[in-house]
Amino acid sequence: MKPFMVVLYLFTAVSFCNAGGSRFSGSQQNAEVMKHLKRLNKRPIRSIQSPDGDIIDCIHISHQPAFDHPFLKNHTIQMRPNYHPNWINDMNIKVTSSPPPSSSSSLYKDKGIVQLWHVNGECPNGTIPVRRTKKEDILRATSVKRYGKKKSFTTVAQPSSTDPDNISQNSHQHAIAYVKGEYYGAKATMNVWNPKIQQINEFSLSQIWILGGSFGSDLNSIEAGWQVNPDLYGDNNTRLFIYWTSDAYQATGCYNLMCSGFIQTNNEIAIGGSISPISELHGSQYDITILIWKDPEEGNWWMQFGNGKVLGYWPSTLFSYLTKSASLIEWGGEVVNTAANGQHTTTQMGSGEFPEEGFGKASYFRYMEIVDESNSLRDPKDIGIFTEQSNCYNVQMSTDGNWGSHFYYGGPGRNPNCP
């Protein structure tokens, strides 16, 4: 039987975040901000106050921001994927249960990761949870137009780039593992931390990148993971996030549901919501599993979070290169270093520890897999690693029977070897 469908139309590569303009002053600015707030914050069926200060609005699925654009009239909402990659139902969101052979099992507890707003309620069927945008959130952006967007067009690690001028001019730094080829998705389990951020306009994240095209103005990217981003959210909470772009972060795409694009179908997970608990140095390690894959029938890119929670999809019509397949998969960490006062900042990546510290201290990605042309999850081959400044943040690859393909990564930022 065909899945239940709702009819709407998705205009190719349109980003609804393009409303607004440069930062204004006085009444003109206020009018632009209030207009954008009205556009983002739909009338909720139910609102839930989260202990972390967020307000989660339960929005009717057909009223979500993805469908605000006047051209979004005839797209058919795919309520569930037609196909899952092999072994998808084996994934869990829980405390790691199989540490490397040299690790202590005492660092594991039988307790899963949750979103804090669940303490005070849940969204009914037929709705999706959306974190309410506040006026001060938009005012922190450089403009209404740029709200919810990455501020730099050079945010993806370029493993083949060794030009020191490009590296020094790019405030984004990475510690990643990657594979090149033809791919239809990727999966990994990553432990969750709360890295310290020195400047409000910096962030630290860990994620999967699904990439297509060159590193020029036509780069396609689908991204998902966790992040600490005080400029975007107004706090230092660790949050689940997604991102997409079809033109190298220039005009299209945004974080979470802050523009038209990603279509959410799940009523349990708030994208952009806080996640808890967090891994501790020498303490319990908590991790999440993320899978992104291309439905071979409809062509949409689906995301699953944890134990079978399919969140929704990016319609294939948003993209050019990713309409067919991805050519590069990256797993790992990214930070923004503003070089405050002419020095590298102390913004941490991952746990803030270097990878050689190992389990219980360093951040990790484990069970790395790719989705191949037969819609099967496979161990990646010919994995490379890359970082721009290994004395600031580094990555260390490993393979064993318990964790499959995995790596440790991260670092403290400024230190005696990273001035």
Q: Is 334 a catalytic residue?
A: yes
Matching residue, tokens 């306009």: 201
Q: H helices then E strands: how many in the chain?
A: 4, 22
HEC profile of the chain:
CCCCEEECCCCCCCCHHHCCCECCCHHHHHHHHHHHHHHHCCCCCEEEECCCCCEEEEEEHHHCHHHCCCCCCCCEEECCCCCCCCCHHHCCCCECCCCCCCCCHHHCCCCCCEEHHHHHCCCCCCEEEEECCCHHHHHCCCECCCCCCCCCCCCCCCCCCCCHHHHHHCCEEEEEEEEEEEECEEEEEEECCCCCCCCCCCCEEEEEEEEECCCCCCCEEEEEEEEECHHHHCCCCCEEEEEEECCCCCCCCCECCCCCCCEECCCCCCECCEEECCCCCCCCCEEEEEEEEECCCCCCEEEEECCCEEEEEECHHHCCHHHCCEEEEEEEEEEECCCHHHCCCCCCECCCCCHHHCCCCCEEEEEEEEECCCCCEECCCCCEEEECCCCCCEEEEEEECCCEEEEEEEECCCECCEC
Residues forming a β-bridge with 58: 46, 129
Rounded distance between C-alpha atoms, residue 204 and residue 94, angstroms: 22
Please pick, among 32, 202, 223, 369, the residue that the annotation labels catalytic: 223
Please pick, among 32, 202, 330, 334, the residue that the annotation labels catalytic: 334
Rounded distance between C-alpha atoms, residue 72 and residue 294, angstroms: 22
User: Which amino acids are annotated catalytic?
Assistant: 223, 334
